[in-house]
Chain A
Amino acid sequence: MSETPSLLTDEAKAFIGKEGPAVQGYPVAEHEIRRFCYAIDDLNPRYIDTTYAANTPAKGIVAPPLFVSIPFSRLDVPLSELRKDGVPANPEGSLMPPIRAERQLAGGIELEFFTDVRPGDVLTLRTKITDIYERAGKSGPMVFIIQETTYTNQRNEKVAVERMTRISR
């Protein structure tokens, strides 16, 4: 073992395998799908035009794949629970291993999709820390946190799995 000070404590390592509570979202609404599409400038009629969508193989409006994380209230917190930078201190269902790092960087996001999300669906998400490891970076140690979020619908069908890497250094 080298003498480089480690950011990764046993306390943080104990988060590997830890799973957050199941968080239920609110019903998916056609108008919210449309708002999302307009905000990403996606005018695909499958998502926003009821008449058009009725004649597609999906036989109705579906949500664009990356809408999956939207119909949840966990970011809706009172103003007093927002940090100075506007970010919620600890959103419901999230798992934050205690790592004393100065900077948080976004790593990559990987998504796998299993079935479409449609208006009326109620999704549930569950987040798990699948791995935490440390690597030596140019400017010191970096900790990689791999967090997996599984989305299911009201029929308990798997809708999507999102794997996110967070980097602390």
Chain B
Amino acid sequence: MSQTKQIYFEDLEEGAELPPLSKTPSTTQMFLFSAVTRNAHRIHYEKDFAASEGLPNVLVHGPMQGAMLSAFVTTWMGDRGFLKRFAYTNRGMATPGETLTFKGRVKKKFETDGHHAVELEVWEENARGEVLVPGQAVVYLPSHREGG
């Protein structure tokens, strides 16, 4: 298995966009996420129960979308990156079979406690371009000045 090439602090400009990534969660994936998180909440696997709560379908777990958004960042940052902060909010509903796209941009570059940091604005949107999960991340990146 290979990993994407390492990004360095100097490679980035404020405003730079992360390459977008699309995923389409299925009920199979949702089943696996329920199992690994021991989440027995019926709105994630029982359509009739979801309907009884007024929902259009079973719902893709909020924390699953948060974890997928964080994976979008940790894949991008490379092996020498460190995810320092990550925040997200589940604002809208996602249902299985919907294509979700993860996007992001560099909001700010700064140095803190001897680390080269970038603050990212990241989000997950649906096919209609509605932001379902807004998020923010701070990532420490290697710098060429560290001799690395």
Interface residues of B in 65-83 (CB under 8 A from A): 66-68, 70-71, 74-75, 79-80, 82-83
The stretch from A3-11, A35-43, A93-101, A146-154 touching chain B is: A35-43
- Residues 30-45 of chain B, each 1 if its beta carbon lies under 8 Å from chain A, else 0: 0011011111111100
A41 to B79, CA, bound (A): 18
What's the tally of chain B residues with a CB closer than 8 Å to chain A?
Answer: 39
Does A56 belong to the interface (CB within 8 Å)? yes
Instruction: Verify A113–B83 contact, CB threshold 8 A.
Output: yes
Does B2 belong to the interface (CB within 8 Å)? yes
Instruction: Verify A87–B68 contact, CB threshold 8 A.
Output: no
Instruction: Verify B67–A87 contact, CB threshold 8 A.
Output: no
Interface size class of chain A, counting residues whose CB lies under 8 Å from the partner chain = 35 or more
Interface residues of A in 67-120 (CB under 8 A from B): 70, 75-76, 82, 85-88, 106-113
Instruction: Verify B74–A65 contact, CB threshold 8 A.
Output: yes
- The listed residue (A46, A49, A85, A107) touching B89 by CB distance below 8 A is A107
Q: For residue B65, give the distance in angstroms from its CB to the closest CB of chain A.
A: 9
| B1, B42, B75: most-surrounded residue (chain A CB, <10 A) | B1
